[in-house]
Structure 1
Amino acid sequence: MKIRVPATSANLGPGFDSCGIALSRYLTIEIGPETRTWQINHQLGSEIPSDEKNLLIKTALDLAPTLRPHKITMISDIPIARGLGSSSSVIVAGIELANRLGNLGMTPQQKVAYATKIEGHPDNVAPAICGDFVVASYNNNEVNFVEHTFPDCDVIAFIPDHELLTSESRGVLPKELSYHDAVKASSIGNVMIAAILNGNLPLAGKMMERDILHESHRQHLVPHLKKIRTLCKTYGGYGSFLSGAGPTVLVLTPPENTEKLVTALKGLNHEALIDVLSIEREGVQIF
């Protein structure tokens, strides 16, 4: 049995800790035979545990403590600490591992709720479970979410060759907002979501670039964001935004403008990875 979980991008600008999309990069878990102890075979680096200390197994055992150990192969093309949901994908895979091996019969609502409690917010885990575009809230220990189809477009990922830990990126955010700024931020996010639901990507992209909740406070950590935003406007993209906590920046564009934007982005930083992705319509899948 194989479990496949898509990468995700959280926030989409003003949808901070609430909005997310699933993307066409993946974590794949192949479940092998039972063993005496948990064995995780991977090529993700020595800092990633290969036993029961792995986040995958810790998550699964929290849900189903009596699971029998298995040999597991873990393959991921989701870069670590780049703002593309690498840790969320492991949490979601761990939940599905427990769900399948433990015959838990969990619903999508239960999976999203449990994953959110672990992650702290639903914007990455919800689209990893459900796929496509998800808007979610986590208040008073209650998770509510809505799935919807994201309009067709190309998603160009500008992935720098350095990490940016979520803890560092969150550390620069303000503890409070004025009432005026809170209303402004809410209106920008509301219009962005409404534009997505209406299939109006030019307006959605415009709103994504007007976020005041987090991007303005993180710009000094991601100096390439402003340059990418200029290139996006110049070469016909819909809009650009910081993916999660960064440092990856995503550019939404009509397919006919993708090649021009990719060329321009490659000229910005030859060491960054430029990858053309698509919206993944399915969330976690079993093969």
Structure 2
Amino acid sequence: MRLGHDHARVRVPATSANLGPGFDALGLALALHDDLDVRALGSPDVVVEVTGEGAGEVPLGEDHLVVRALRLALDHVGAPQTGLHLTCVNRIPHGRGLGSSAAAAVGGVLLARALLAEPEALDDDAVLAIACALEGHPDNAAPAILGGATIAWLEADDADPTAVRPRAVRLAVHADIEPVVIVPGSRLATKAARGVLPATVPHTDAAAQAGRAALLVEALGRRPDLLFPATVDRLHQGYRRAVMPDSLALVDALRARGVAAVVSGAGPTVLALARRTDDGRTDADEAIAAAFGGQMGGWRVLRPGVDLDGARAWQVG
């Protein structure tokens, strides 16, 4: 496999995983994007420039997640490695449960695909597998790749029965659904959020969760009027209250006002699956304003919309 291009760009969306009951399975792509640009160099140098989210914090060399993903993808297809000049314009908040790591991993793999003379060597299944090898669970990577809402799962690998591979399918998203993202000033590491989860849960909770997750698929695609009951969670959010008390208090306050509010991914961002109103607002706006009482305390409210296309890469020049 050889490189056919020396300059590529990708735009990759933020994502919200779980959506309440769809723990480690459901995800939604949001129209809030990181823009990545890479040039292959004739030297072995690696230069990384970052503006926006993560600037001054993330590694600026081989350890940068986009660089690692790009190199892993090139190795996967047997393409030669090269020096790199990577520019990242980051808009996805880091450490907030909005899929910034998945966006970086997916973005790096898609940059590699755009550099290849035969990009079909990295199909979407391969992109998902490589991204998950770096980032972990597929519930964020899948919507970043496919756009819209997705269901992701792991299944036995046909080539190696002892291994598993990630799979994903895309779901319809009703045109009336308008995600509202409420981002706190504080961060929370995914490891910390997962560390408080129990090894087992009551059978009654698991059974209830299965029903709500199934209902959420219907609510997302055809019945947004069912979003409130469809987003009831009994597997993870309650256990995480100790590490994100403000986020769960906000979820409680919004749900008390009839808003389909959940923790976004591992948190601490809160996602409201709202619906558009005739005046261009959403049915969650008044509840959000009431919950904060005019004092945002470092929280930001974003209305990014749903990204229906997923990440997109192209050659430059």
TM-score (norm 2): 0.83
Aligned equivalents of 1:33, 1:122: Cα separation in 2: 28
Amino acid at match of 1:242: V
| Offset of residue 119 of structure 1 | 2.3
Aligned twin of 1:179: 203
Does residue 269 of structure 2 align to residue 248 of structure 1?
yes
Match 2:49 to one of 10, 29, 41: 41
| Offset of residue 157 of structure 1 | 0.9
Gaps of 5+ in 1: none
Identity %: 29
Match 1:135 to one of 128, 139, 151: 151
| Offset of residue 272 of structure 1 | 0.8
Amino acid at match of 1:11: N
Aligned twin of 1:260: 286
| Offset of residue 18 of structure 1 | 0.4
Q: Judging changes above 3 Å, is the alpha-carbon distance between structure 1 residues 35 and 50 closer, same or farther for their aligned structure 2 residues?
A: farther
Amino acid at match of 2:276: P
Aligned equivalents of 2:178, 2:295: Cα separation in 1: 19
Single out whichever of 59-68 and 252-261 deviates more from structure 2.
Answer: 252-261
Q: Aligned with 2:103: secondary structure?
A: helix
Aligned equivalents of 1:108, 1:265: Cα separation in 2: 41
Q: CA RMSD in A?
A: 1.9
Q: Aligned with 1:47: secondary structure?
A: coil
Single out whichever of 141-150 and 131-140 deviates more from structure 2.
Answer: 141-150
Aligned twin of 1:154: 178
Does residue 74 of structure 2 align to residue 64 of structure 1?
yes
Amino acid at match of 2:218: A
Greater C-alpha Rg? 2
Aligned twin of 2:141: 125
| 8 Å Cα contact 1:12-1:241 kept in structure 2 | yes
Aligned twin of 1:99: 113
Aligned twin of 2:228: 205
Aligned twin of 2:212: 188
Residues 146-203 of structure 1 show CA distances to partners (whole Å, capped at 9, x for unaligned) of 1022122221111000000000000000101233332222122112223323x21231
Match 1:31 to one of 38, 43, 46: 38
Give the number of equivalent residue pairs.
283
Gaps of 5+ in 2: 1-7, 157-163, 278-282
Aligned equivalents of 2:149, 2:188: Cα separation in 1: 24
Aligned equivalents of 1:165, 1:144: Cα separation in 2: 25
Residues 106-161 of structure 1 show CA distances to partners (whole Å, capped at 9, x for unaligned) of 11122122222322211000000000000111133132321022122221111000
